[in-house]
Structure 1
Amino acid sequence: MLPRIILVFTLSLCALSGQNLFAQTEKGTVKGTVKNSFNQPVPSAHVLIKGSGKGVHTDENGAFAIADIAPGAATLRISSLGFASQEQKIRIDAGATTVVEVKLEENTSQLDEVIVSASRRVESLAETPSSVTVISPKEIDALSTISPNIANIVGYAVPGLGSSTNQTGNYGQTLRGRNLLVLIDGIPQSTPLRAGGRDIRSIDPSVIERVEVIKGATAIYGNGADGGLINYITKVPRGARKIGGYSQAGLTGNTKGDSTIGYRFSQQLFGKLNKFDYVVSGMYEKTGVYRDAEGQVISPEYGLGETKIYNAFTKMGYDFTESQRLELMYNYYSSNQHSAFVLKNGVFGKSPAIGVLGKRVGIDEGTRHNHNLNLQYTNKEIVGRTSLTANVYLQDFWTVYSNSASFYGSGQSEIVSNKKGLRVNLNTPLQFSSKISGDITYGFDLLNDQTAQSLVDGRVWVPNIDMRNLAPYAQISTQWFNHLNVKAGARAENIRIQIDDYNTLATGPDGAGSIAVKGGILDYNALVFNAGARYSKFRYFNPFVSYSQSFSIFDLGRVLRAARESTISKLETKPIIVDNYEGGFSSQLGKLSFTAAYYYSTSKLGSNLLEVDGVYIAERMPERVWGYEIQMDYRVYGGLTVGGNYAYVEGKGDKDQDGNFSGPKDTYLNSNRITPPKITAYAKFNHKGLNVDLNWMYVGSRDRFKPNEKGVYALGEAPIESFNLWNLAAAYKVTRQFRLSLGIENLLNTAYYPTIAQFYGNDANYTRGNGRRFNLVLGYAF
């Protein structure tokens, strides 16, 4: 593995030193303004010199300036959310300033959006050879008006991601049939060493600028991204005022039944003082009782009712020079349930599990805290034209689950996870000829992840897993004749895991059933690759193909806690390596935008969850997952836009491991992994301060398994019946400062069961989703 690491960095250093061959001593400058079709400035538009890696954002007046540009012909690429990107050819003269004015036209096509998560560099979707969904600020605003639960927002907006569970966790909310990695500004939130399923709902949407979802196995970010990743990009300072802000106060509740009223308050401040800028935000929410469409109290087990939610956020930055910046981000999130109800089992397939008044056993459950701290230094020209981004970060996560009688004497489990990381990311532009340019992004991730699961009374269920990972990587991107984008990259995983000696949980008195397990060290080394190409000359047909691998040690804790051997060396702890193949295209035909993609992924060893004798175990067998997604958006006229998407996924396991997935012993993957087909559609209208967003979601059926001789379904194998929901968001700008919003979830008050309530196949989890709920918000901007 060491020679591979040396090879990666040797290539990187060669590129770093070689770039000076193309540099010129005398440089030029380009400056200008970016405006919309009404001749108004467009702030925060991204202006990039193609092939150079140099880029800036416009200020509140739409102005920009880029210095130290090599003389000669150059191409400006200007892009901003909600506008069609534009390219403009310019001429740079040595020692001179070129002045330009750019006008952007409004557009709904995602091809024009700018992202950073796919390659760890700023690029537009038109350059990215993979499937990406970006949830823009406008979409976050509308969807959070319907429900301020981020799991609901991404569950609706992202094709290929399972629908929301309506619970504190996201178990079963997979991405393209596989597990996903959740990030906040690139900081890992997931706990793949002991997957707790509370990573999607780890931040409040009020502090999210946008969400970038990279679909399909990815070698870019490391452990846990088998199905892709979700990166929550937090808010950044806007404008040049010393102080500005936005205040919100709201009421939430069901339209049927009592004790459902909750409330929510948030306050944000932002501003710029010379070279210093800041964003500060605080949010508090208390939910009332959650009821279903019939007015019955929804089961409090892992529920969202009677919950107190806190989010505190700050981001402060200081610009030493035009090219050097230091930025500090901190976010705190907490969600704890204080319910006066206890579970009353339902009858699977007949009547729902509900909540009835009673005293809950144990301590309050939920995510007690999730601290994220990120210190970032950027230098756009650290050596020649090479830019540097360096991050030091930490995450401190603690979550508590409901009391369970499955433990001897009953008990509550908790997961504690602490991550510390260092990330160094460099980018060097390359110029091979007048027709071929590119850049290389390279660096390393250093991560220490310590995760454990115990019972709150001190009994160890999963011992402390101490993982250290050093992963150098390099990603080369090239642009051929301005239209063909070709990428390739590699990442070398070097993982060492320390596990202490431990005893499995006793199943009876005096330690009965407990097994002493000798710990030790597990080493994992792997080199994973990715490659792809996108041809972007024609907006009406913008095709791409890609291949990418992922590497993860997923849910090692589940293997450890179910151990029946006396040493970890005898346990099945091999990693999951996924090969993902994908092809698709995007089209822009006037007012119509259309995208489609087909994917196919394989893994020699998967992690299909089974329940055996009351114990959850990970079934390791070869897996094959495939599916497709399509999306369409059409601007009807003026402020009216309609659109929707369809996502289908299926998966099978080679149970007899004979290389054939169609044998009599082979099986479909469980529905806790494979989600039913999902359709979403929307109609958006905006005019003179009024915004209305009507959306519809249909979740299809999945029935692949048979019950046992007693008529009981295994975990994840019960049939899923389809359901559909209508939601409405409306907002009106009453004055320049005041804005009134109303969101209605489940507009038609449909009685339905989320997929997680159905695929479990038992009485305790057969819980209905929310009945009609409202969210009334008054906002004040200053």
Structure 2
Amino acid sequence: MNTSTISKQLSLASAIATIIGASWSGAALAQTAGSAVDQNEVVELIVTGSRTPERLDEVTASVTVVDSEALRQDLQLTAELQNILSFRVPGLAPTTNSTSNFGQTLRGRTTLVMIDGVPQSTPLRNGALDVRTIDPAALQRVEVVKGATSIYGNGAAGGIINYITREAGGEAFNVELTQQMSVNQVESDDSTSFRSSATVDGTLGRFSYVFNATVDDNGLQRDAEGDIIGQAIYGLSGVRTQSLFGKLGFQIDAEKSLSLTANYYDAEQVERLIDVTSSINDGTKTYAVKPAPGQAIPGEPQGVDGNTNLMLQYRDAELFANTSLTVDAYTQEIENVFFYSATFADPAAGFSGGNSVILSEKEGLRLNLESVFDLNGVETTFIYGADILNDVTSQPLADGRSWVPEMDMSNEALYLQSKFVIGDWVLKAGVRDESVDIDVPDYTTLRMCGANNVCRGGNPVEGGKLSYSDTTYNAGLRYNVSPAFSPFVSYSQGFDVSDLGLLLRAASVPDLDQVQTEASVIDHYELGVSGRVGAFNYEFAIYESESELGTATVENPPGSGLYVPVRAPQEIEGWEVALGLMVNEHLDLGTTYTYVEGQDPDTGVYLDARKISPPKFTAWADYDLGNGLSASAQWMKVMNRDRFVPVDMATGRYTGAEAPVEGYDVFNLSARYGRDSWRASLGIENLFNEAYFPARAQAFTYSGYNTMGVGRTIKAGLTVEF
């Protein structure tokens, strides 16, 4: 870190200390935050928005919490988190029915995915496999905070998805065993999938523990016409998922605790198939077939070849004078193997193609303090601390060739978040000072040979150090005038140097300093309101997101598989609404609507489908029939988006991610029956066997992406607890 950066951060640290010291000297110390709450009141808390538990009615941003009940209910239909979140979270793009969340943006921008605050995303080379990095059986809930934020650092241009892992129960020994089986109803041949999950947890005096092991073997995934869904590009057919999760806790005394959390996740395609590829421009679908006897399939199996997380947390609820301390030390290692592509051919070197692999190793330390005061009748909270992260990411090919060189990032930050509760008003403001240094070695861009043996790349680039620093701010105001009407307004900034690797691998200049690697600062504005009137609840938000430098890319030349950066400004706006109605003690109804659109404000050109998704409507009904029997129905409607003209008017062919999307509907149905220690379930995904192409499959013109959605699939399960 250079001298000016150190001086700047020391000044911020000094300012933090001065503010907090003045507050202590002039305030009567309050009781702890928890004791100020009526013990008979049910208070919903989240941790993601401010890094410590806080009431939802004190959050000045749009938040969606997918709780344990919703997760368990949706597991009766699918174990794919990208599908579950797509339905449950307004603002998140429609599901892609694949192992990848490429194109599944949040409010038109990328998200930072975390497990208990540990980043799973690889923002230096975004491979879009981060949503699928833990099994839902290991989760307590999912918290989604929408809108650009820098509170956790780089990568959260569109918001944060934080997986909160399971906690131990109060009993000494609890066991949950689940066995599920699913089969495609249209064509059952080799489509049977099996899922087994076991969880053991408990509390023994000061010790607590949670262990989960899950194995999920996908059979052949078939579409509504009975064909095997194309597998070569992020397919789910034949994917074997293995997940191990463990958490150990020790309560040192009434205030101090220690916990160790470990998670291992592996999801690879063990069934090798061959795709019959086409493009959406051809008017046909991509589907898969089994190889002929003895037929070789080139490349390595794609998927997550091991994602390992380890986090040690120390917490002191009363470090001094009404101040708590949380220290997290964590590591994460991930190896993501991508699909085999002939784009990587280099006949002169003996290569006909290859698989790329994203390798990422992270080590981090988070120091977080929270001080709570009664400042002359104003409930005042300061959250402050430091983040240190080292992230080493590269993207070689599986055969040893280098595509994206090793990027060694050192990231240090100081932050301060404040909250003032003045009667019914909640005022929040924060600042984060970020310093990022990235070392890049000398490298040579990958030589790739396309049709007619026309080769590109092989360009030597002199490396060096890239340094970024910025101070980002946020502010928000909420007025809890009544339970029926609680409006809020907020402004937040995000600091984004994501996908640097995408820029480096396309470099055509001899020096790193000439690559367009400038960081993006995103300004996000939001106005919303939420409330509850009797059995009716609602939330509405409207927002705008601006950045002077986008991070889009364009394929140049078309069909080459080579992408160059487009650092044009971006302006994204949209709105979301969520409604719920408890009709009676048996029937619960809900619905959401999402609209997002974006364009280059200088040219008026719309952003393509890698950023912007079509409008999305969801609805559900949960019905309790009594005597342990209940049923749920879900409906997702994806609507039209047609913003671009064909590149060839005569043939109607589109390019890139600019093809039109035609709306489609998907219905799901599930039922449960259970007693004290067991419950059985039955789920039907795509109830009416709708033959549809997901939004990404329609908008992306690249060969192999135009796969249909899964056909009618029936899943049965049994869970036993003791």
Deviations 1:63-85 (A, max 9, x none): xxx6xxxxxxxx4245xxxxxxx
Tell me, what secondary structure is at the counterpart of 1:668?
coil
Q: Does 1:715 align with 2:656?
A: yes
Q: How far did residue 566 of structure 1 move?
A: 0.7
Q: Quick check: 1:53–1:439 contact (8 Å CA) kept in 2? A: no
Mean Cα displacement is larger for which, 526-535 or 708-717?
Answer: 708-717
Q: How far did residue 54 of structure 1 move?
A: 3.7
5 Å-filtered alignment, 1:328-339, equals 328-339=260-271
Look up the equivalent residue of 1:776 and give its one-letter code.
A
Aligned to 1:469: 411
Q: Quick check: 2:27–2:376 contact (8 Å CA) kept in 1? A: no
CA separation of 1:53 and 1:568: change in aligned 2, threshold 3 A: farther
Aligned to 2:310: 373
Aligned to 1:291: 222
Aligned to 1:692: 631
Q: Distance in 2 between matches of 1:22 and 1:557?
A: 50
Aligned to 2:254: 322
Q: Quick check: 2:343–2:448 contact (8 Å CA) kept in 1? A: no
Aligned to 1:445: 387
Aligned to 1:344: 276
5 Å-filtered alignment, 1:256-267, equals 256-257=186-187, 258-267=189-198
Aligned to 1:95: none
Q: Distance in 1 between matches of 2:321 and 2:514?
A: 52
Among 268, 284, 289, the alignment partner of 1:356 is: 289
Q: How far did residue 16 of structure 1 move?
A: 4.2
Deviations 1:431-470 (A, max 9, x none): 2212x12110000110001110011000000000000000
Q: How far did residue 164 of structure 1 move?
A: 1.3
Q: How far did residue 15 of structure 1 move?
A: 4.3
Aligned to 1:30: none
Q: Distance in 2 between matches of 1:103 and 1:116?
A: 19
Q: Distance in 1 between matches of 2:622 and 2:19?
A: 47
Q: Distance in 2 between matches of 1:457 and 1:185?
A: 34
Tell me, what secondary structure is at the counterpart of 2:481?
coil
Q: Distance in 2 between matches of 1:407 and 1:13?
A: 54
Among 620, 627, 630, the alignment partner of 1:682 is: 620
Among 539, 547, 551, the alignment partner of 2:483 is: 539
Q: CA RMSD in A?
A: 1.7
Deviations 1:298-334 (A, max 9, x none): 1112101111100100011000111100001001111
Among 456, 462, 473, the alignment partner of 1:529 is: 473
Q: Quick check: 1:753–1:769 contact (8 Å CA) kept in 2? A: yes
Aligned to 2:349: none
Q: Does 1:458 align with 2:389?
A: no
Q: Quick check: 1:53–1:428 contact (8 Å CA) kept in 2? A: no
Q: Does 1:773 align with 2:713?
A: yes
CA separation of 1:422 and 1:670: change in aligned 2, threshold 3 A: same
Deviations 1:78-108 (A, max 9, x none): 5xxxxxxxxxxxxxxxxxxxxxxx375xxxx
Q: Distance in 2 between matches of 1:402 and 1:675?
A: 24
Among 313, 334, 337, the alignment partner of 2:245 is: 313
Q: How far did residue 22 of structure 1 move?
A: 6.5
Q: Does 1:6 align with 2:16?
A: no
CA separation of 1:77 and 1:676: change in aligned 2, threshold 3 A: farther
Q: Quick check: 1:641–1:683 contact (8 Å CA) kept in 2? A: yes
> Which runs of 4 or more aligned residues in structure 1 lie more than 6 Å from their structure 2 counterparts after TM superposition?
22-25, 509-512
Deviations 1:337-363 (A, max 9, x none): 022420102463632111012242112
Look up the equivalent residue of 2:542 and give its one-letter code.
Y
Tell me, what secondary structure is at the counterpart of 2:342?
coil
5 Å-filtered alignment, 1:605-616, equals 605-613=549-557, 614=560, 615-616=562-563
Q: Quick check: 2:592–2:617 contact (8 Å CA) kept in 1? A: yes
Deviations 1:585-624 (A, max 9, x none): 0021111001100000110001122111121222111110
Q: Quick check: 1:54–1:380 contact (8 Å CA) kept in 2? A: no
Aligned to 1:671: 609
Look up the equivalent residue of 1:440 and give its one-letter code.
F
- TM-score (norm. length: structure 2): 0.94
Q: Does 1:253 align with 2:253?
A: no
CA separation of 1:570 and 1:595: change in aligned 2, threshold 3 A: same
Q: Quick check: 2:322–2:373 contact (8 Å CA) kept in 1? A: no
Q: Distance in 1 between matches of 2:360 and 2:23?
A: 42
Look up the equivalent residue of 2:468 and give its one-letter code.
Y
Look up the equivalent residue of 1:740 and give its one-letter code.
A
CA separation of 1:373 and 1:605: change in aligned 2, threshold 3 A: same
Look up the equivalent residue of 2:70 and give its one-letter code.
E
Q: Distance in 2 between matches of 1:688 and 1:348?
A: 49
Q: Does 1:618 align with 2:570?
A: no
Aligned to 2:173: 243
Q: Does 1:742 align with 2:682?
A: yes
Q: Quick check: 2:28–2:376 contact (8 Å CA) kept in 1? A: no
5 Å-filtered alignment, 1:110-259, equals 112-239=43-170, 241-257=171-187, 258-259=189-190
Q: Gaps spanning 5+ residues in structure 1: where? A: 26-50, 56-65, 67-74, 79-101, 105-111, 655-660
Q: Distance in 2 between matches of 1:466 and 1:682?
A: 46
5 Å-filtered alignment, 1:411-560, equals 411-434=354-377, 436-481=378-423, 483-508=424-449, 513-560=457-504
Q: Distance in 1 between matches of 2:636 and 2:272?
A: 32
Q: How far did residue 513 of structure 1 move?
A: 3.9
Deviations 1:20-57 (A, max 9, x none): 446879xxxxxxxxxxxxxxxxxxxxxxxxx64443xx
Q: Quick check: 1:339–1:360 contact (8 Å CA) kept in 2? A: no
Deviations 1:224-252 (A, max 9, x none): 1011010000001111x221110011112
Q: Does 1:571 align with 2:504?
A: no
Q: Gaps spanning 5+ residues in structure 2: where? A: 346-351
Q: Distance in 2 between matches of 1:507 and 1:364?
A: 21
Among 700, 704, 711, the alignment partner of 1:764 is: 704
Tell me, what secondary structure is at the counterpart of 2:416?
strand
Q: Distance in 2 between matches of 1:713 and 1:725?
A: 26
How many pairs align? 696
CA separation of 1:537 and 1:341: change in aligned 2, threshold 3 A: same
Q: Quick check: 1:552–1:576 contact (8 Å CA) kept in 2? A: yes
Look up the equivalent residue of 1:235 and give its one-letter code.
R
Deviations 1:142-196 (A, max 9, x none): 1121101111111110000011111111100000001111000000011110010
Q: Quick check: 1:15–1:440 contact (8 Å CA) kept in 2? A: no
CA separation of 1:472 and 1:77: change in aligned 2, threshold 3 A: farther
5 Å-filtered alignment, 1:86-105, equals 102=40
Mean Cα displacement is larger for which, 349-358 or 198-207?
Answer: 349-358
Q: Distance in 2 between matches of 1:278 and 1:18?
A: 41
Q: Quick check: 2:27–2:374 contact (8 Å CA) kept in 1? A: no
Look up the equivalent residue of 1:130 and give its one-letter code.
A
Aligned to 1:602: 546
